[in-house]
Amino acid sequence: MYLHKLIFQFKVLVDKKTFTSAAESLFISQPTLTQNMQRLESELGIPLLFREGKKISLTVYGESLYQHACLLDRNYQQALLSIDAIKHSHRQQLVIECGHAWSHGVLFHLMKDYVRLYPQIRMVIKNSNTTLGQQHLLKGECDLALGAIPAAENRIAAINYLPIFTTRFVLYCASDHPLARVTQITEAQLNQCEWVILKHESENEEFNDPLLCPVPPEKVRFEVYSVSNAIALAKQTQCILALSIHLEDEARHRGLCHLNLAKNIPSFETGIMYIDDVLKYDHKKKFIETIISSKSMFDQNDM
C-alpha cells in the first residue's frame, strides 16, 4: 500500500506538471512531495523524472510507470463507479470519445441497432482527437476512443487498436474563392490562404493535426468546434476548411467546393481503441462488437 500511495502521488505530479501544483492538489507540502518522489525512485531503483526549473520531464522509466499508474487509478475509479451504480441503481454508462468523422454521421448510423438493444444505457459522446482520446482511456475518463490509429511505434501497450476504415482530409472553399477553379493547387498557394480550423471540444492547447498539412498559426482566422459552423464560415468567407472525406456529401450539399491539390493529403486508418477492462462489461463489449461488425461495410467503400 505504501508504494501505491507514492505511485498515485507520482501520477498527480505528472498530471499537474509542477511540484507546487501537485503538492497543493494532494494537500501536502512541496518538500514532502519531493522526498516522496525520491523515496519512490529509491524503492524502484530507477530514475523517474528530471527537474527543469519549475517543470518536470519523464525518463523512459517514468513514462512507463505513468501509464501503469493511470491504469491503477482507472481501475480504482471504475470500482467506485460500479459500487455506486449498484448502491443507487444508476443507469449503466458508456463514454465514447471520437473525432468529427465519426460523430458527424458515421457513428449514429452504426449505433441504431445498439441503441435499440440497450435502451437503459446512458451514452456520453465527446469530441476528441486521437492523442487526447488515448490519454483519457488510460485515465479512465472514457471507455472507448474512435479516431485515427497511430503508427505501430507510437502505440501504447495497454491500449487495443482495431482499424475500421480508411479516410483522409479534403480541403474545401466557397465557390467564389480564387482557388476554387484552379486545377493543381500548390503548397505555396495554400500558404497564402486563411483557414477555418475545426477543433475538438477537449483540445485546450494548440494542436496541429499531424494527419493534415501544416497550417501556420498566423493564417488561422477562425477556430470552431462544430462541423456546421465550420462549413458556414468557409462558405461566407475566403477561408479554407479541411474535413474528413466522409463529410464530403454534407460539404458539397451546403455549397462548398472541393479544392484540387497538386499533391493529395495522405490517407490514414481510423478505428476503435479500448483497454481490456471494458470487456468485463456486457454493454461496452457489445458496442465494440457493433463497431467491428461494420468493418466489412467500410471495406467495400473505403475512401
CATH class of 169-258: alpha beta
Give the per-residue pLDDT at 165.
Answer: 87
Express as a percent the part of the chain with pLDDT over 90: 47
What are the cell numbers at 204?
A: 485546450
- CA terminus-to-terminus distance, the chain: 51
Give the per-residue pLDDT at 286.
Answer: 93
Distance (Å, rounded) from C-alpha 232 to C-alpha 238? 11
Whole-structure pTM value = 0.70
Confidence of residue 193 (pLDDT cuts 50, 70, 90): very high
Place of cell 477556430: 223
Q: Which of 185, 200, 182 is nearest to 244 (CA)?
A: 200
Mean pLDDT for the stretch of residues 217-224: 91
Sequence ranges of the domains in the chain: 2-72, 91-166+268-301, 169-258
Encode pLDDT of 66-104 as tens digits: 999 998 888 888 888 777 766 655 568 899 999 888 887
Mean pLDDT of the chain: 86
* DSSP state at residue 97: E
Encode pLDDT of 94-122 as tens digits: 999 998 888 876 788 888 888 888 888 88
Give the per-residue pLDDT at 303.
Answer: 46
Confidence of residue 208 (pLDDT cuts 50, 70, 90): low
Give the per-residue pLDDT at 94.
Answer: 92
Give the per-residue pLDDT at 168.
Answer: 87
Encode pLDDT of 37-73 as tens digits: 999 999 999 999 998 888 899 999 999 999 999 988 8
Confidence of residue 275 (pLDDT cuts 50, 70, 90): very high
Q: Which of 135, 1, 157 is nearest to 64 (CA)?
A: 157
Mean pLDDT for the stretch of residues 224-242: 92
Domains 2-72 and 169-258 agree in fold: no
pLDDT at 266 over 90: no
CB-based contact 218:210 (threshold 8 Å):
no
Mean pLDDT for the stretch of residues 196-213: 66
Query: Which CATH topology does 2-72 take?
Result: Arc Repressor Mutant, subunit A (1.10.10)
Q: Which CATH superfamily is domain 91-166+268-301 in?
A: Periplasmic binding protein-like II (3.40.190.10)
Q: Which amino acid does the sequence have at 102?
A: W
Give the per-residue pLDDT at 173.
Answer: 94
Give the per-residue pLDDT at 213.
Answer: 66
pLDDT at 236 over 60: yes
Mean pLDDT for the stretch of residues 128-139: 90
Sign of CA dihedral 159, 146, 149, 216: negative
Give the per-residue pLDDT at 267.
Answer: 86
